[in-house]
Amino acid sequence: MPQRSLMGVLILLVLFSPLGVDIYLPSFTTIIEYFNTTADKVQYTLSLFILSMGLGQLAAGPLTDRFGRRPIAMAGIVMYMTSSLLILLCQTIDQLIVLRMLQGASACCTTTVAFAVVRDRLPPRDAAQAYSYLNGALNIAPALAPSLGGALAAAFSWQANFVFLALFALASLVLVTVKLPETRPDVTSQRPLGVLASYRELLGHRTFVLYSLCCMGAMSVILSYVSFAPQVLISNMGISTTTFALLFGANALVIMAGSFAAGRSMFLLGESGCMIIGSLMMLTGATLMAGGYWLDMQTAWSFMVPVMVACCGFAWLLGAATSRALADFPHIAGTASALLVCIQMLGAALVSILAQASPFAHRLTLAILMLVMAVFACLVTATGKTQSDNRLVDPVTS
């Protein structure tokens, strides 16, 4: 099967989670009125979606190693489609919250399969390139989904967003059925379901832990930016919500462009080279952010330019760090992929919560996070550079 065709299917699989997060955001106010509820209750439909997706990884990974990639991907898609359609029948906000949690658990299946298939089929440096492309595709949804969701809600109703998600799931199910091969290696299929033993192996592996923490740190910067941006840009600097949406979308496109640039540069620079470039970008973003804060610059660009530089660094870091974390686990690629995403998502969410409680100004807190992330990634890259950077052939697949 051509690699380009495979990547097209995998991109669809990773889009389930960001579409589920972003497409209905413009309808929050409408949903509050529809169910006669509070903003906090509607916020649970988002936060519990993310929580169930993060925790669900711990079950989805071993299941893909036990039963194969295709069946778990297809089961997740069917569950996602079913929960999307059931949302149309919701009479209370509590029903919506429960179905959103089911959607989150469904999305974790498709994400886990996408990352596991890359590890199954590609040697390390090709895999790093593929992870960069997948991470780039993940940012298409934040850039475009809110506009699509707003248009659907305006033309029909907020429920139209979930009709779209159900149709997207149906189309993806057809393509997965036709185009996605079973890629689980024989060494995995012969392995008993030793879930706890697999997780102990992963958590006891220094390379996996360090590079997973790199992914978590990079994601922490993004989540903290998303949390701080409304208050910094709208409340403090007074920009309009329309301008905010345009800046938010522009930054998502920057991440997407950075991810594809990193992917194309992987064979030239190697994983370590891409991580060093990403760290330097993150360090530059931290310096610019701190400088803008100390000079008391109160323009949108004094916040967004450092963010865009740092987010581009995030894009360069994430693909290479993901590849390094998963490289040594072909026998439990699904479990390893799932634990990596779980650490990345839940750890980043915790760091973001702690950042919100910081006594420092938001811009200074964000600058500190960027600095810490840049230094940590540099140290990890320096200690692990000799292990796999020159490895062009996967010993398992050769």
- The CA dihedral of 232, 236, 240, 246, to the nearest 10 degrees, is -20
The Cα diameter of the chain in Å comes to 61
Quick one: pLDDT at residue 292? 93
The closest alpha carbon to 124, from 381, 316, 397, belongs to 397
Q: Which two tokens stand for residue 171?
A: 């189309």
Quick one: pLDDT at residue 26? 75
Cβ–Cβ under 8 Å, residues 12 and 175: yes
What amino acid is encoded at 285 in this protein? G
Quick one: pLDDT at residue 398? 35
pLDDT means over runs of 10, the chain (398 residues):
71 88 80 85 80 82 84 93 95 92 90 84 75 74 75 88 95 90 67 70 90 90 78 82 76 82 80 90 95 91 94 87 84 80 81 82 93 93 60 37
Q: Which two tokens stand for residue 313?
A: 């660094």
Q: Alpha-carbon distance 329 to 331, whole Å?
A: 5
Quick one: pLDDT at residue 392? 34
Q: How far is CA 186 from the centre of its chain?
A: 29
Cβ–Cβ under 8 Å, residues 319 and 263: yes
Place of tokens 């297809």: 74
Quick one: pLDDT at residue 293? 92
